[in-house]
């Protein structure tokens, strides 16, 4: 048995404000230092389990770990005994004897929490059906490097109320920005996240009107209309088309507004080419910042990132 109390990165809401701030600030600093930054994870191994496809998460975690001095193992859930019904709990106990941290991209969120409850090494959420916190950490880094502190700013979401949005909702509470969400009726976000964020004092507005959400916003965000594993719940594109982020919708935002998308994008569906490739789009900066943000998340899991003295917790 190793560390009996590992530091997991499961969700934005499971990490204290001061720690989240320290991670974003550390990421900005590591990005500036580039490969001259420290290599605190020399000799450590990260196992990554993928129950769903990935380009960015897979490559950015792999490169992040190498740049921190560590090594990685990339595992497909389907090719592990997990795919033949070995339990998540037993898998957690076994992997904890071999590796120093585990990242998992999976389906049901309770697979992640069960892994974390049974692992004796840090566990990181690389996306579940419910949330995608690493994406939002990269997005906050991206916003702040372009526009300064996110606190008090207005973010607008137009599209499906999915896992990426749930983590953005959690971030609105932790980082104190306003979030306006426009979805078609029936595609609203999971209200547990919205109620929790409101309970922490966040301003989260729900509407079916994308113009209401986007008007005056500092950042406009969208994502696919059909998330991985949700194909059976797919709804007609005509339902989502009014929520497409196009130049007409962007014109309602603050003229300085950024456009964000976690990628992969479905051009011509949730976003047009003109917006994706236009001057307000920072989608490839977001993709790059997955690397920098995750270096700091990994370092934080190993106690290498700490809030500044006197920073707010909670």
- Number of residues binding to ligand NVA, judged by CB under 6 A: 9
CB of residue 228 to ligand NVA, shortest distance in Å: 4
CA–CA separation, 154 and 196 (whole Å): 19
Q: Which does 118 bind (CB under 5 to 8 A by kind): ligand NVA, ligand CP, none?
A: none
Check residue 11 for interaction with ligand NVA (CB under 6 A): no
Q: Is 263 annotated as a binding residue?
A: yes
262 is catalytic: yes
Residue window 231-270: x/- pattern of binding to ligand NVA, with contact defined by CB under 6 A: -------------------------------x--------
Check residue 262 for interaction with ligand CP (CB under 6 A): yes
- C-beta closer to ligand NVA: residue 224 or 296: 224
Which residue in 17, 105, 180, 261 is the catalytic one? Answer: 105
Give the closest residue to 86 by CA, choosing from 49, 123, 120, 47: 49
Helix (H, G, I), strand (E, B) or coil at 165: helix
Check residue 162 for interaction with ligand NVA (CB under 6 A): yes
Residue 293: how many CA atoms within 13 Å on its side-chain side? 28
Which residue in 111, 132, 174, 292 is the catalytic one? Answer: 132
Which residue in 17, 30, 174, 290 is the catalytic one? Answer: 290
132 is catalytic: yes
Give the closest residue to 7 by CA, choosing from 238, 202, 297: 297
Sequence-distant (6+) residues with CB within 8 A of 49 are 75, 76, 77, 80, 82, 102, 103, 104, 105, 106
Check residue 106 for interaction with ligand CP (CB under 6 A): no
DSSP assignment of 53-67: --SHHHHHHHHHHHH
Check residue 223 for interaction with ligand NVA (CB under 6 A): yes
CA–CA separation, 160 and 210 (whole Å): 12
Q: Which does 55 bind (CB under 5 to 8 A by kind): ligand CP, ligand NVA, none?
A: ligand CP
Total Cβ atoms within 10 A of residue 1? 7
In Å, how far from its chain's centre is CA 146? 18
237 is catalytic: no
105 is catalytic: yes
Binding site members for carbamoyl phosphate:
54-57, 81, 105, 132-135, 262-263, 290
Active site residues: 105, 132, 135, 223, 262, 290
């Amino acid at each position: 048995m190793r560390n009996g109390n590992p530091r997991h990165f499961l969700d934005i809401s499971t990490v204290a404000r001061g720690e989240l701030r320290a991670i974003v600030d550390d990421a900005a600093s590591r990005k500036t230092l580039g490969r001259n930054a420290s290599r605190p994870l020399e000799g450590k191994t990260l196992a990554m389990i993928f129950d769903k496809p990935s380009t960015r998460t897979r490559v950015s975690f792999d490169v992040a770990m190498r740049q921190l001095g560590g090594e990685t193992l990339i595992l497909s859930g389907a090719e592990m005994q997990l795919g033949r019904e070995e339990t998540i709990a037993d898998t957690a106990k076994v992997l904890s004897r071999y590796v120093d941290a585990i990242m998992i991209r999976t389906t049901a969120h309770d697979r992640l929490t069960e892994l974390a409850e049974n692992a004796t090494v840090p566990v990181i959420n690389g996306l579940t059906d419910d949330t995608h916190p690493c994406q939002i950490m990269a997005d906050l880094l991206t916003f702040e490097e372009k526009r300064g502190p996110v606190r008090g700013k207005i973010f607008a979401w137009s599209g499906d109320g999915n896992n990426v949005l749930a983590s953005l909702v959690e971030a609105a509470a932790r980082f104190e920005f306003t979030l306006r969400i426009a979805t078609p009726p029936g595609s609203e976000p999971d209200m547990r996240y919205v109620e929790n964020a409101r309970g922490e004092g966040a301003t989260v507005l729900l509407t079916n009107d994308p113009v209401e959400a986007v008007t005056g916003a500092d950042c406009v965000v969208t994502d696919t209309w059909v998330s991985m594993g949700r194909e059976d719940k797919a709804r007609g594109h005509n339902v989502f088309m009014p929520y497409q982020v196009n130049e007409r919708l962007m014109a309602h935002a603050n003229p300085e507004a950024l456009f964000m998308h976690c990628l992969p994008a479905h051009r011509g569906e949730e976003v047009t080419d003109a917006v994706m490739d236009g001057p307000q789009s920072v989608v490839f900066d977001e993709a790059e910042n997955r690397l920098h943000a995750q270096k700091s998340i990994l370092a934080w899991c190993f106690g290498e990132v700490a809030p500044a003295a006197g920073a707010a917790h909670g």
